């Protein structure tokens, strides 16, 4: 069989940076364990590979959203703990009971379902102000939770990325709810919550974004390292004359002769239209701006100052997450989790 050609676009993923980010976050926890959210395919990087590198760094607590994500990850965890944040639907039960992963029970109905099946260890989510998943604080009663083997009682911060009064209120509500629950471990802090201080750490933290190079609060700058480095191959080099336009909608019109390179990447790959006219490629220190609109599969870059760039060459896409989020008008989370399947994911 003829071997498939290599992909013309790639994510270069920095294992050392990922591990260093986890270790830095773990060091801010006091005595609390530091886990890792690897849902959404490891925030777009590849959950199995992310877990492998974090296991090597010392992580032993992982979190996914669904049982399909759990099924992919479980064979690679070598006994580390895995929690499934969305709990258990009736159709999840058979797999959940056999898996060894813990459901995060979010409602009285899920609690009854797990208890009636004698499901074993579980986690419980209590809502303290997010109004998303979780028991209301009124529902956290001994009669509802009786008979459960609760490993972790957790909640989720809604505004930890800013100095918001809800942070301290959620902390108060969580402490109050936890006082009546016999959970082995308490967990409240996500990436931003870790940066709020040790009082938010409790026994276990659950970073996500910051592991992958995102800066959830300003005090992470200078400590959190970039993990994701997208690269794309040049398909063609061409020139445009003054007055000619580039791309859909003719949103860019050249004021002078320009040399452009067409890259094999577009919004289908998660390099979204918000980068139109704002993003850039990088080549040997040179900043090469995006010209015109980002297409589904293609991108035009100004290479007038880089005469050596030609067909087949590879260019880095500027992707420092805080800066890229400002360029594209998107959150750092969106930039990571929309990275497409067509990238070769290369760990270094």
Domain boundary among 204, 220, 236: 220
257: exposed, middle or buried (Cβ count in 10 Å: 0-12, 13-18, 19+): exposed
* Cα–Cα distance measured from residue 168 to residue 42, given in angstroms and rounded to the nearest whole number: 29
pLDDT on residue 164: 97
Please state, as a whole number, how many other Cβ atoms lie within 10 Å of the Cβ of residue 273.
15
The C-alpha angle 30, 86, 215, rounded to 5 degrees, equals 45
Domain boundary among 177, 203, 220: 220
pTM of the model: 0.96
Based on the fold, state whether residues 200 and 266 are members of the same structural domain.
no
In a domain, 327, yes or no: no
**Which residue is catalytic, options 3, 184, 248, 333?**
248
pLDDT on residue 285: 84
In a domain, 73, yes or no: yes
- Structural domain containing residue 106: 15-220
pLDDT on residue 281: 98
In a domain, 334, yes or no: no
pLDDT on residue 144: 94
Is-catalytic flag, 323? no
185-187 and 149-154 as β-strands: parallel, antiparallel, unpaired?
A: parallel
Based on the fold, state whether residues 212 and 232 are members of the same structural domain.
no
Based on the fold, state whether residues 201 and 246 are members of the same structural domain.
no
In a domain, 336, yes or no: no
Based on the fold, state whether residues 42 and 24 are members of the same structural domain.
yes
Give the position of tokens 């759990």: 70
Based on the fold, state whether residues 206 and 251 are members of the same structural domain.
no
Based on the fold, state whether residues 214 and 249 are members of the same structural domain.
no
pLDDT on residue 29: 87
| HSE, side-chain direction, 13 A CA sphere, residue 134 | 20
Is-catalytic flag, 252? no
33-34 and 344-347 as β-strands: parallel, antiparallel, unpaired?
A: unpaired
Based on the fold, state whether residues 143 and 25 are members of the same structural domain.
yes
Tens place of pLDDT for every residue, the chain, 348 residues? 899 999 999 999 999 999 999 999 999 989 999 999 999 999 999 999 999 999 999 999 999 999 999 999 999 999 999 999 999 999 999 999 999 999 999 999 999 999 999 999 999 999 999 999 999 999 999 899 999 999 999 999 999 999 999 999 999 999 999 998 989 999 999 999 999 999 999 999 999 999 999 999 999 999 999 999 999 999 999 999 999 999 999 999 999 999 999 999 999 999 999 999 999 999 998 999 999 999 999 999 999 999 999 999 999 999 999 999 999 999 999 999 999 999 999 999
In a domain, 214, yes or no: yes
**Which residue is catalytic, options 39, 212, 271, 333?**
39
Based on the fold, state whether residues 212 and 258 are members of the same structural domain.
no
For residue 288, what is the domain's CATH number? 2.40.37.10
* Cα–Cα distance measured from residue 90 to residue 88, given in angstroms and rounded to the nearest whole number: 6
Based on the fold, state whether residues 164 and 292 are members of the same structural domain.
no
Based on the fold, state whether residues 22 and 112 are members of the same structural domain.
yes
Contact present, 235 and 266 (Cβ < 8 Å):
no
pLDDT on residue 251: 97
Question: Residue 149 pairs with which residues in a beta bridge?
Answer: 121
Please state, as a whole number, how many other Cβ atoms lie within 10 Å of the Cβ of residue 14.
18
Q: How many domains does the chain have?
A: 2
Q: How far is CA 148 from CA 41, 94, 210, 213, 272, in A?
A: 30, 18, 32, 37, 45
Q: How far is CA 159 from CA 77, 82, 199, 203, 213, in A?
A: 31, 25, 16, 21, 19
Based on the fold, state whether residues 71 and 164 are members of the same structural domain.
yes
For residue 150, what is the domain's CATH number? 3.20.20.10
Domain boundary among 171, 187, 220: 220
First to last CA, the chain: 29
Based on the fold, state whether residues 140 and 121 are members of the same structural domain.
yes
* Cα–Cα distance measured from residue 114 to residue 132, given in angstroms and rounded to the nearest whole number: 21
In a domain, 324, yes or no: no
């Amino acid at each position: 069989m003829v071997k498939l050609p290599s992909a013309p676009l790639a994510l270069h993923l920095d294992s050392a940076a990922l591990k260093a980010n986890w270790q830095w976050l773990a060091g801010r926890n006091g005595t609390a364990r530091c886990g890792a959210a690897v849902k959404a395919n490891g925030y777009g990087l590849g959950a199995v590979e992310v877990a492998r590198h974090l296991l090597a760094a010392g992580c032993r607590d992982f979190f996914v959203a669904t049982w399909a994500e759990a099924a992919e990850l479980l064979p690679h965890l070598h006994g580390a703990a895995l929690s499934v944040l969305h709990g258990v639907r009736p159709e999840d039960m058979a797999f959940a009971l056999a898996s060894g992963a813990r459901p995060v029970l979010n409602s009285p109905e899920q609690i009854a379902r797990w208890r009636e099946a004698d499901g074993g260890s579980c986690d419980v989510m209590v809502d303290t102000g997010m109004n998303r998943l979780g028991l209301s604080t009124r529902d956290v009663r001994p009669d509802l939770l009786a008979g459960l083997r609760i490993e972790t009682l957790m909640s989720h911060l809604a505004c930890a990325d800013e100095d918001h009064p809800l942070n301290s209120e959620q902390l108060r509500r969580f402490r109050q709810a936890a006082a009546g629950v016999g959970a082995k471990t308490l967990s409240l802090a996500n990436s931003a919550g870790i940066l709020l201080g040790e009082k938010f750490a409790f026994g276990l933290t659950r970073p996500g974004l910051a592991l992958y190079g995102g800066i959830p609060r300003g005090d992470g700058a200078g400590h959190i390292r970039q993990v994701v480095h997208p690269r794309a191959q040049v398909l063609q080099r061409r020139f445009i004359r003054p007055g000619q336009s580039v791309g859909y909608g003719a949103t860019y019109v050249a004021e002078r002769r320009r040399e452009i390179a067409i890259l094999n990447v577009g919004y289908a790959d998660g390099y979204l239209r918000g980068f139109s006219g704002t993003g850039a490629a990088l080549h040997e220190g040179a900043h090469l701006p995006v010209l015109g609109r980002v297409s589904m599969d293609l991108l035009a870059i100004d290479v007038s100052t880089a005469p050596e760039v030609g067909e087949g060459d590879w260019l880095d896409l500027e992707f420092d997450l805080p800066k890229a989020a400002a360029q594209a008008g998107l959150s750092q989370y969106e930039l990571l989790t929309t990275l497409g399947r067509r990238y070769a994911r290369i760990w270094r």
